[in-house]
Amino acid sequence: MDYFYERVLRPIFFKLDCELAHNLGAFGMTALGWMPPVCRVMERCGRLPAAARPIEAFGLKFPNAVGLAAGFDKHATAWPAAAALGFGHIEIGTITALAQPGNPKPRAFRYPSEEAVINRMGFNNEGAETVAKRLAKMPKRGKRRIPLGINIGKSKVTPLEKAVEDYLTSFSLLADHADYLVLNVSSPNTPDLRKLQDEQRLSELLAALDAANRDRASQKDAAGNAKTRVPLLLKIAPDLTYPQIDAVLEQLEANHFDGIIATNTTLARPGYFENIDQTGGLSGKPLTKKSTEIIRYISRATNGRLPIIGVGGIHTSGDAGEKLDAGATLVQIYTGMIYRGPFFARELARELSARQLRPTRGY
């Protein structure tokens, strides 16, 4: 299937506008989710060896280490089919408190020779209330094939001084539907969003979400059952300095966050991209080394105590393995799937599972 995709389907998709091709892919995955029996058969066909162990992180179990990063399923329609494609978790979004169209088109551009993408989508989504209503009609927590993460960000029209209130609105609407929830403060495509990574602003934001999460855990649902605390993660930019990362890690610990996602897209323009005149976040192979370096730094700085989801430039099983060796607990793909095809996650999961089961040499 990967060969067929790369030789036959990918050339066709790459003749289309980047965003149109994405929308067709997302619709195809959504349509697959409408056929649960087909999904179950596909899932069984891609099942890992019985000896493969699930991965445990922030109180959840993941059938394999490979997830689909936020950005693909922006409207929470495609995720029910993720397990059929081999994913061990999926993260929807980014969702904002207010519905918004995103930035003007065109806003996504491929660079096949570099296996990269530049996008400036701008959190186009239908808003937290609409997404929450949709999720309420879909498989619930505890009954899903794989964990569902929900990635939330600041609405574009919300001023920076009202950002905390904006995130709290999304949290209150979406937390009941999330197996874990991610605060995105690192997209380069919403004005001033990355300023929320500054120490004082980040402290206020994380403290507010931590308090809301603890308050939620003291409540009961409509059936009278006690709610459970939802794991909270933070997604950071690859453009932070190491002192800035240190400050972020201090805030995560102080505010009882459960993990970190490293990393988002980059504003850097290395090598080939020095003369590319497109604004937005760069993803794909040019980000591979940088994101792995940051994962390694975080792992060492926290003595491996903080679960890390590694994202950025995973195009081979070797790329994924390097991120796990650097300290990541889980990995996520997106741009790699654009270049490798819809069953890339299954291939990665199998190869990482074989790697997990490979006997270590004793001395």
Report the binding-site residues. Answer: 70-74, 94, 119-123, 151, 184, 189, 235, 263-265, 284, 313, 334-335
Under DSSP, is residue 5 helix (H, G, I), strand (E, B) or coil? helix
Give the total residue count for the chain.
Answer: 363
CB-facing half-sphere around the CA of 25: CA atoms within 13 A: 27
Give the residue carrying structure tokens 């989710």: 33
For residue 128, give the nearest of 191, 80, 180, 74 by alpha carbon: 74
How far separated are the first and last CA of the chain, in Å rounded?
41
Could you give the CA distance from residue 345 to residue 86 in angstroms, rounded to a whole number? 5
* Residue 155 near residue 161 (C-beta atoms within 8 A): no
Q: How far is CA 319 from the centre of its chain?
A: 17
Known catalytic membership, residue 218: no
Q: How far is CA 113 from the centre of its chain?
A: 25
State residue 293 phi and psi, 5-degree precision. -60, -40
Could you give the CA distance from residue 20 to residue 17 in angstroms, rounded to a whole number? 5
For residue 118, give the nearest of 5, 238, 273 by alpha carbon: 273
Give the residue carrying structure tokens 């990063």: 69
For residue 311, give the nearest of 145, 149, 200, 120 by alpha carbon: 149
Spatial neighbors of 308 by CB under 8 A, at least 6 apart, are 259, 260, 261, 262, 295, 298, 299, 327, 328, 329, 330
Active-site residue (options: 155, 186, 187, 353):
187
Could you give the CA distance from residue 336 to residue 346 in angstroms, rounded to a whole number? 13
Please state whether the peptide bond connecting residue 106 to the residue before it is cis, i.e. omega within 30 degrees of 0. yes
Under DSSP, is residue 68 helix (H, G, I), strand (E, B) or coil? strand
Active site residues: 187
